[in-house]
Amino acid sequence: MQKIINDLWYARRDLISDGFDSALNYISELIPLSIIEIPTGTECWTWIVPPKWSLSEGWISNGGEIVLDVSDHPLHVMSYSQPIRKRIKKEELMAHIYTYPERPNAIPFGFSYYENNWKFCIQHNKLAEFREDNYDICIDAKFTEGTLKVGELVIPGKSKQEIALIAHLCHPSMANDNLSGVAVLIETALELLKQSQNKYTYRFLFLPEAIGSLAYLSQNEYLIPSIKYAIIVDSVGHNDVLSLQHSRQANTELDICASYVFKDETLMYREGAINKICGSDERIFNGPGVDIPSICISRFKFMGKGGWPYPEYHSSDDIPDIIIIDNLVETKNIIIKMLDILNKNYVPKRNFKGPICLSRYGLWVDSNKDRRLSLSLSDIMSSLEGDKSVLEIAKEVGISFSDLFVWLDKLHKENLLRRQSGVPD
């Protein structure tokens, strides 16, 4: 995962750009991606696919020397800036300078995809160096017809029902946001490709944030009814605990499963409602008229409490050095475990009356070997009325999903219960 991040992070992966396309091609060497193209100008519900943006030059000169040059750092020119070349007064230039006063040595990530504007992004501490009255400026940018690209990998399951796994690949010259999510999903896909066929079909999507989801879903509306759940992975590599943002529906099988796995796998984590932690592609997948229950896994802090999602967010400080590989591995393991539970989960319905004579069927559990399961057997036997899933019973009774699954499997083999398909949300 480290190599993926090191190889891709510095490139200009703007929304629709050569850099984005090269990154998708890079990923398709690792996993068998199909690349879906949606042309500039395509109406995507209330949105329109923007043009391709390319930048060949961007600098500010004080007449004698260049004082800022995009060749020193790609973030120095705001993404999707309009082209401009002229001599301007300092006041006018300052109205087009973007800085982060709270992080004065970092270059901010600026973007203006849907409004015509231009800006230079610089370290706040460098403002003092602008002492001349006039400056020559140049942004040599081109807007051309292009195609928005979505990298798609479908791993077929036994069922046509799907789980979508999504990471955005845009954002030039930044690592954690969101090559961390991209690397985690590539690794997850590689692991799932090795497994035997699961119940669910998996649909991996690598796309430009927001507009990529809008374009993909609006041009493939027929897919929406078969996507049961979506998992969005955003900024999961930096040094912080994991954050689970629930779906808008809040209490679906996916939400219950995610809460259960987070609690089981991590010592500390944040948990919050939709729009309280992230604001990424779940806004589209879980948005009006789409309504796919979607969780977002990140390491963001809660929104609206001042401060940033993480200190290096949307700046030139978001570099590979801030990513902790163990944090990526932890995230991948959590996703794999969630998918495993979702694949195995079902609603058990008893075929017996009265408490089961456990020893007759080899179902008795020695309390010295597994005290928790042994003490829970009566509660479990009373929970097999066909209205709760294995996951819900495990959570209610307080034992592990896998222990319960294995024990119920023995009941199933003895024809003491039926497995009802379809877990109601």
Q: Which residue is nearest to Zn ion (CB)?
A: 177
What amino acid occupies position 131? R
Q: Give the binding range for Zn ion (CB under 5 A) out of 8-16, 170-178, 182-190, 353-361.
A: 170-178
Is residue 281 within the footprint of Zn ion (CB under 5 A)? no
Taking a C-beta distance cutoff of 8 angstroms, is the pair 166, 285 a contact? yes
Q: Which of 205, 398, 352, 401 is nearest to 285 (CA)?
A: 205
d(CA 67, CA 78): 17
By CB under 5 A, residue 240 contacts Zn ion: no
Per CB under 5 A, 234 contacts Zn ion: no
CB 376 within 8 A of CB 304: no
| Cα–Cα distance for residue pair 404/86, rounded to 1 Å | 71
Only one of the segments 176-184, 251-259, 298-306, 398-406 lies at the binding site for Zn ion (rule: CB under 5 A); that segment is 176-184
**Smallest distance, Zn ion to C-beta of residue 15, A:** 12
List, in sequence order, every beta strand (DSSP E) within 169-309.
201-207, 227-234, 242-245, 269-272, 294-298
CB nearer to Zn ion: pick between 177 and 281 = 177
**Tokens 């896994």, residue?**
297
In the numeric block, the tokens 């507009």 are attached to 211
Question: Closer to Zn ion at the Cβ: 278 or 339?
Answer: 278
Total site size for Zn ion, rule CB under 5 A? 1
Quick check: 21 binds Zn ion (CB under 5 A)? no
Taking the C-alpha atoms of 259, 339, 31 and 11 in order, what is their torsion angle to the nearest 10 degrees? Answer: -10
- Does the footprint of Zn ion cover residue 177 (CB under 5 A)? yes
Cα gap 291→406, rounded to integer Å? 34
In whole angstroms, the minimum distance from the beta carbon of 109 to Zn ion comes to 7
Beta carbon of residue 174, minimum distance to Zn ion (angstroms, whole number): 8
Q: How far is the CB of 225 from Zn ion (least distance, A)?
A: 30
**Integer Cα distance of 363 and 408 in angstroms:** 9
The first and second tokens of residue 324, run together, are: 């902790």
Smaller CB separation from Zn ion, 51 or 181: 181
| Minimum separation from the CB atom of position 177 to Zn ion (A) | 4
Minimum separation from the CB atom of position 261 to Zn ion (A): 25
What does each C-alpha distance from 52 to 18, 19, 55, 70, 82 come to in angstroms? 8, 11, 10, 19, 12
- Residues found in the chain: 425
Helix-strand-coil percent breakdown of the chain, rounded to 5? 35, 25, 40
| Closer Cβ to Zn ion, 135 or 313, answer by number | 313
> At closest approach, how far in Å is the CB of 13 from Zn ion?
12
Q: CB-wise, 279 or 287, nearer to Zn ion? A: 279
**What's the closest the beta carbon of residue 199 comes to Zn ion, in angstroms?**
33
Strand, helix or coil for residue 193? helix
- The interface region with Zn ion, picked from 122-130, 143-151, 177-185, 405-413 by CB under 5 A, is 177-185
Q: Can residue 317 be called a binding residue for Zn ion (CB under 5 A)? A: no
- Taking the complex as a whole, the smallest distance from the CB of residue 19 to Zn ion amounts, in Å, to 16
**Cβ proximity of 19 and 169 under 8 Å:** no
Q: Which is nearer to Zn ion, 183 or 341 (CB)?
A: 183
C-beta closer to Zn ion: residue 177 or 240 = 177
Nearer to Zn ion, 177 or 253 (CB): 177
312 lies in the binding site for Zn ion (CB under 5 A) = no
Which residues contact Zn ion by CB under 5 A?
A: 177
